[in-house]
């Protein structure tokens, strides 16, 4: 058997073992996170027609978001499980002894990781965002909230019973900017317009509008009143608005690019959305980085820790990657660091860690 055939055989065997292990890890993690989601939804059970069936539909539709978020973690743990098992059975030792170099193993892992990287992009760009929005719409309909929310370049437009509401910006603290409320009667005749510069969520179904200009229309004409504050009662809440408009984690890379351009055209801060955009583009590459890092674990002597120890370390590293990545992104947005560096910092750090561990293992 030639070297090329042997490498192809190794790649196919590695792919089968890694894909199977990653699938098992995904199944376990998704079941765990879905259980947490279901428990969280129990607090809202009984609101309107929001029954157990709707809760299960909502949880099922949020699974793609968890798949995307957990991709690097699942790939890291699954690859560690597969490689450590092969190392424990001396399979990797046999392959290395037969002339397979470390470089060849890395290239084989990268080839195996490319389909998973593509799958990560597909889920993050085309499956997760619409699925998340559909889940929220079904939930709102089941709770009998008479809301119809749409997103445009001019902001969010929402129908709230007899009113149409336009919110230009939803800020990171869930406050609103540039709110316009168009009030209609039962015959869809315009009765009044309320325009406010800012709004903050004060209590359930209650917002406090500030710097308010209220226009009322009647047969005698239009009257205008300026008020410092006005209480606005509506079924809209911060969760609905942030999910459907400007939460970067819930937007596609294309939507983030378009929204960043929109903010830039209006001389507004774009750092948070630029970081999220670069993060979306760099996130699938983390799948390949995690596979290289997993290979470093298989190079260690079995006496340095069993499968359970290595899996535990993999979980810790995966969670560190996830949460530290968010920390870097938030710090980058607050301090106006370079967007690309803020979004990809953890990729570079973990790649450096993987290469360092592999280099040390090769020297032994």
How far is it, in rounded angstroms, from Cα 244 to Cα 259? Answer: 13
> What is the C-alpha separation between 287 and 312, in angstroms, rounded?
18
Burial 228-255 (b: 16+ CB within 10 A, else e): eebebebbbbbebbbbbbbebbbbbbeb
What are the 10-residue block averages of pLDDT along the chain, 364 residues in total?
Answer: 68 92 95 94 84 92 92 93 84 75 88 95 91 82 62 69 81 78 87 92 86 90 90 79 59 80 72 86 93 81 64 86 86 84 92 90 74
Q: What are phi and psi of 301, to 5 degrees?
A: -70, 145
How many whole angstroms separate alpha carbon 205 and alpha carbon 118?
Answer: 42
Closest CA to 109 of 119, 117, 120: 117
Predicted pLDDT at 102: 83
Residue whose entry in the numeric block shows the structure tokens 């535990």 = 312
Q: What backbone torsions phi and psi does residue 252 show, to the nearest 5 degrees?
A: -80, 165
Residue 266: the pLDDT is 62
Backbone angles phi, psi at 246, to 5 degrees: -120, 20
DSSP string, 275-300: HHHHHHHHTTHHHHHHHHHHHHHHTS
Q: Are 178 and 170 in contact (CB under 8 A)?
A: no
151: helix, strand or coil: strand
Q: What is the pLDDT of residue 326?
A: 83
Q: How many CB atoms lie within 10 A of CB 304?
A: 9
Q: How far is CA 70 from the centre of its chain?
A: 9
CA–CA separation, 149 and 236 (whole Å): 9
313's tokens: 């370390």
């Amino acid at each position: 058997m030639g070297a090329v055939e042997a490498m192809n055989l190794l790649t196919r065997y590695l792919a089968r073992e890694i894909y199977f292990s990653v699938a098992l890890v995904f199944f376990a993690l998704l079941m765990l996170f879905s259980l947490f989601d279901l428990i969280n939804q129990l607090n809202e059970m009984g609101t309107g027609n929001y029954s157990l069936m709707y809760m299960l539909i909502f949880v099922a539709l949020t699974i793609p978001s968890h798949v995307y978020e957990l991709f690097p973690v699942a790939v890291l743990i699954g690859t560690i499980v597969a490689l450590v098992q092969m190392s424990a059975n001396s399979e990797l030792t046999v392959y290395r002894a037969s002339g397979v170099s470390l470089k060849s193993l890395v290239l084989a892992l990268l080839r195996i990781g490319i389909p998973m990287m593509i799958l990560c992009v597909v889920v993050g760009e085309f499956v997760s965002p619409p699925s998340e929005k559909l889940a929220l719409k079904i939930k709102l309909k089941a709770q009998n909230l008479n809301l119809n929310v749409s997103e445009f370049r001019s902001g969010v437009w929402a129908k709230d019973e007899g009113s149409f509401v336009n919110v230009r910006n939803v800020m990171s603290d869930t406050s609103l900017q540039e709110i316009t409320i168009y009030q209609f009667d039962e015959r869809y005749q315009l009765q009044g317009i309320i325009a406010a510069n800012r709004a903050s969520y004060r209590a359930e179904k209650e917002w406090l509008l500030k710097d308010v200009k209220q226009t009322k229309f009647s047969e005698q004409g239009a009257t205008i009143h300026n008020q410092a504050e006005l209480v606005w009662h509506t079924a809209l809440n911060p969760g609905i608005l942030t999910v459907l408009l400007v939460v970067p984690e819930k937007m596609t890379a294309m939507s983030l690019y378009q929204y960043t351009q929109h903010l830039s055209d209006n001389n507004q801060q774009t750092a948070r959305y630029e970081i999220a955009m670069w993060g979306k583009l760099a996130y699938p590459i983390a799948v390949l980085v995690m596979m290289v890092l997993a290979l470093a674990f298989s190079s260690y002597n079995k006496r340095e820790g069993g499968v359970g120890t290595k899996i535990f370390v993999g979980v810790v590293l995966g969670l560190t990657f996830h949460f530290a990545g968010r920390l870097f992104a938030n710090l980058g947005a607050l301090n106006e660091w370079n967007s690309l560096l803020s979004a990809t910092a953890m990729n570079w750090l973990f790649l450096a860690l993987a290469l360092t561990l592999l280099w040390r293992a090769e020297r032994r």
